[in-house]
């Protein structure tokens, strides 16, 4: 189409932040940082390469995802432990905090709950910022690698995409049929993954993750949580995923308990106060 004569003026309109976060309740980072000085490990789970495992985190505890052996990205799902219909909502987390998350950001839950499931309390990769390609770390813009898109694009089956890994892990952990478990798998937080959108075509890109062994991302559980983490078959995501080509490494999840006295003033997050009538008279 031919440009209208006022095209330049229309393009020059300034952007407006969709969700100004000035009224978003701030996490009490001082409290979390004091409590994390007292952490002691109570459990750990090793996530094998190209596979996933589940773990539980009691409310008021921390969990830490650590790179071990080599650069590896992880696809994270989180649910309220006793209600799988409340799960991490990647899209709304993106709308509130931006395309990538770091310390001080929260992982928000699905409707009708919309409360923080977890708060990020430490990120050893926070120095990375945004690179010259517009890439950054720990994204909430990707979905999760899955066998359906892979079949669509390649015509080939592959059973170790993160979607399938997470499905198997949840099916095993909660003793449910894989097809039932699959319905609970949702869009992920891409831990350690370095991604962005290309400036010319707006396509989702990935590049070699800057993560190195001992780097970690740490969370505070705002309620009782069930987590599932997949060590993505993309490895550090420098080449391709959904195949056995990339070099892959395990990931470590540690569950950490703070001294309870440090959390005296903390209370678990409450679900949204919205009444759910949606304007109906019924
Ligand atoms: Zn993946």
Distance 232 CA to ligand 1 centre (A): 4
| Residue 224 counted as domain residue | yes
pLDDT of residue 23: 83
| Residue 197 counted as domain residue | yes
pLDDT of residue 98: 94
When the pLDDT of each residue in the chain is averaged and rounded to a whole number, the result is: 95
Other CB atoms within a 10 A radius of the CB of residue 249 amount to: 20
| Residue 157 counted as domain residue | yes
Q: What is the mean pLDDT of each run of 10 residues along the chain (282 residues)?
A: 95 88 88 97 98 98 97 98 98 96 97 98 97 96 94 93 98 98 98 95 94 98 98 89 85 98 93 94 74
pLDDT of residue 274: 95
pLDDT of residue 25: 84
pLDDT of residue 158: 93
pLDDT of residue 77: 98
pTM reported for the whole predicted model: 0.94
Q: Is 121 left (phi over 0), alpha (psi -120 to 50) or beta?
A: alpha
Helix/strand/coil for 55:
strand
Distance 84 CA to ligand 1 centre (A): 21
| Residue 277 counted as domain residue | no
Q: Provide the residues around ligand 1 (an ion) whose CB is within 5 A.
A: 75, 145, 162, 232
| Residue 21 counted as domain residue | no
How many domains in the chain?
Answer: 1
Helix/strand/coil for 203:
coil
| Strand ranges in the chain using DSSP code E only, listed in sequence order | 40-47, 52-57, 62-67, 74-80, 83-87, 106-108, 116-123, 136-139, 189-197, 204-207, 216-221, 225-231, 251-257
Distance 35 CA to ligand 1 centre (A): 33
Range of the domain at 234: 39-259
Distance 51 CA to ligand 1 centre (A): 10
- C-alpha 239/C-alpha 211 separation (Å) is 15
Distance 267 CA to ligand 1 centre (A): 34
| Residue 15 counted as domain residue | no
Distance 278 CA to ligand 1 centre (A): 37
Other CB atoms within a 10 A radius of the CB of residue 10 amount to: 9
Residue whose entry in the numeric block shows the structure tokens 């069930």: 226
pLDDT of residue 236: 87
Distance 7 CA to ligand 1 centre (A): 41
Distance 75 CA to ligand 1 centre (A): 6
| Residue 190 counted as domain residue | yes
| Residue 30 counted as domain residue | no
pLDDT of residue 241: 72
């Amino acid at each position: 189409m031919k440009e209208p004569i006022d095209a330049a003026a229309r393009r020059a309109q300034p952007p407006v932040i969709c969700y100004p976060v000035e009224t978003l309740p701030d996490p009490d980072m001082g409290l979390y940082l004091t409590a994390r000085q007292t952490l002691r490990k109570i459990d750990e789970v090793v996530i094998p390469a190209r596979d996933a495992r589940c773990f539980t985190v009691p409310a008021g505890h921390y969990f830490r995802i650590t790179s071990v052996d080599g650069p590896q990205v992880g696809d994270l799902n989180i649910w309220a432990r006793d209600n799988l219909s409340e799960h991490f909502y990647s899209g709304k987390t993106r709308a509130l905090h931006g395309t990538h998350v770091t310390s001080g950001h929260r992982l928000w839950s699905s409707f009708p709950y919309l409360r923080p499931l977890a708060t990020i309390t430490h990120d050893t990769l926070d120095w990375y910022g945004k690179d010259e390609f517009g890439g950054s770390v720990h994204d909430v813009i990707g979905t999760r690698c899955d066998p359906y898109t892979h079949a669509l694009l390649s015509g080939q089956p592959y059973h170790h995409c993160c979607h399938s890994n997470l499905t198997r892990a949840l099916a095993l952990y909660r003793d449910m049929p894989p097809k039932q478990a699959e319905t609970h798998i949702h869009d992920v937080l891409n831990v350690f993954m370095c991604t962005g959108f290309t400036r010319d075509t707006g396509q989702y890109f990935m590049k070699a993750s800057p993560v190195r062994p001992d780097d970690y991302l740490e969370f505070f559980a705002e309620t009782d949580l069930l987590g599932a983490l997949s060590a993505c078959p993309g490895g550090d995501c420098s080449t391709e995923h959904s195949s056995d080509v990339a070099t892959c490494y395990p990931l470590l999840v540690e569950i950490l308990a703070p001294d309870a006295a440090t959390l005296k003033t903390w209370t678990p997050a409450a679900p949204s106060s919205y009444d759910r009538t949606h304007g109906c008279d019924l």
